[in-house]
Structure 1
């Protein structure tokens, strides 16, 4: 495994310039990889598509709807029973059904809004890898590793990389073979 420095770009032309600049800075072509990273949630990690088996914002929805149905059914049954002299014996049953439906709808008002942070979510604590073009270079195993790392960071930064991250992996013949789009990136801020 090698240390990999990667920069994020939006345009394919920018990645071509970054690749040329890394070659000019002395990095071998076989250790440079360029590819597109899909937006979070669209990496088709599961057979049915997507990255997760349940939407992050919906993990508590089952419990919320169940509470709404239970509360609404209880209130509806009481109201239905109170109106039994007028509605007959089915009043309590119809009241419970209508109350359960209204209660389930009311529970939706307690769901999080789009873009609102979800409590306890890793995605809120750590920035996810953005989509776009990625140019990555594997550093060689030499004594001047820190100098190589800084040279790669400087080249990517000078060319306008939006994010620069550091990772461990293998780039062989221009292919980052063990790249995992779901891994949490380690962004370089220095």
Structure 2
């Protein structure tokens, strides 16, 4: 595995300019990779698409649905029972069903805001933002400062350090959902 320095850009033209600048700085062309990085959550990492089977922040939602539906069903059935003289035996049933549905909507109160922690959880990790990414691999640790300077000089944002393999211009073991080691 080699050391990799990567920088984020907004435009495809920025990637071509960075590739030329890295070549001029002495980096091997087959060890430079440029590609588009999708939005978080859209990396198609699971069989059904997306990055996770269950959305981060939704761990408590099933419990909220059960709590809300149960409470709503009881309240609805009691309210429906009061209407038996008018609705007959269907009153408690319909009241219970309507109450369960309305109560299940209580689960929305269990939803997290973007970036909010789970109860007892860790702070949200730094994520990679969507956009163009250019990465360069090298084995000589003395080249790191040169790579950072080139990317910084071209206006790269969120410059990160990683370990991996870039072969023939393809970052073969890139993991879009991993936590980046941000340098700048």
Q: One fold, TM greater than 0.5?
A: yes
Distance in 2 separating the partners of 1:26 and 1:86: 87
Cα pair distance change 1:178/1:66, threshold 3 Å: same
Distance in 2 separating the partners of 1:34 and 1:109: 40
Of 134, 155, 176, which residue of structure 1 is paired with 2:171?
Answer: 176
Of 165, 181, 185, which residue of structure 1 is paired with 2:180?
Answer: 185
What TM-score does the superposition give when structure 2 sets the normalisation length?
A: 0.88
Unaligned runs of 5+ in 2: none
Cα pair distance change 1:41/1:76, threshold 3 Å: same
What TM-score does the superposition give when structure 1 sets the normalisation length?
A: 0.85
In structure 2, the partner of 1:160 is 155
Matched residue count: 183
CA deviation digits over 1:138-161, x for unaligned, max 9? 1234xxx2x311111011001000
Distance in 2 separating the partners of 1:161 and 1:39: 18
In structure 2, the partner of 1:68 is 68
In structure 2, the partner of 1:29 is 29
In structure 2, the partner of 1:134 is 133
Distance in 2 separating the partners of 1:174 and 1:77: 65
The answer to whether residue 107 in structure 2 is matched with residue 112 in structure 1 is no
Misfit runs of 4+, over 6 Å: none
Greater mean alpha carbon deviation, residues 89-98 or residues 18-27: 89-98
CA deviation digits over 1:120-152, x for unaligned, max 9? 566x521111111111111234xxx2x311111
**What's the C-alpha RMSD, in Å, of the aligned pairs?**
2.1
2:37 touches 2:130 (CA, 8 Å); kept in 1? yes
Unaligned runs of 5+ in 1: none
CA deviation digits over 1:57-96, x for unaligned, max 9? 4332222111111101111222233343444333322322
1:112 touches 1:118 (CA, 8 Å); kept in 2? no
